[in-house]
Amino acid sequence: MPKTPARFNIPELLLKFAITRQLKEKNCSHLHLIQVRQPSTDVCQDCVDLGDSWPNLRMCLICGYVGCCDTSKNKHMHQHIDETGHPLIRSIEIGEGWIWCYPDEAFISAKSKQLDEAMSVMSG
């Protein structure tokens, strides 16, 4: 199996700014759709099948599909989102847990109040 390149974690606040160009968190209208919270794998199986590596992994919060990120050459997660219309992904990199909502273009921090509220509604 190909090894993933070594990487470092970018602090979440800097990552949010790099992606959205703003520090304020946008509301996400899709958090209630979360079905899957934990990944079933720690590889992009599509990349493994191609003999490729990946820089970062993302998980679909609707069906649990795990794919490589938009900075990889294959962009399997983005292909999955385009094919399925599933709106939410999260980083499954060690030390990360942020969520991206494609339709709302919202970066949701792992420690977000709106995420906490959505999880408590789903649990209760």
> For 68-79, what is each residue's pLDDT tens digit?
999 999 999 999
pTM: 0.83
> What domains sit in the chain, N to C, each tagged with a CATH number?
34-123 (3.30.40.10)
- Mean pLDDT in the chain? 86
> For 39-59, what is each residue's pLDDT tens digit?
999 999 999 999 999 999 999
pLDDT of residue 16: 73
The structure tokens listed for 69 are: 């990120």
CA 67 to chain centre: 9
Please enumerate in sequence order all residues whose Cβ is within 8 A of that of 117, keeping only pairs 6 or more positions apart, or say none.
Answer: none
- Looking at residue 82, what DSSP letter applies? H
**Which residue from 105, 104, 103, 47 is spatially nearest to 75, judged by alpha carbons?**
47
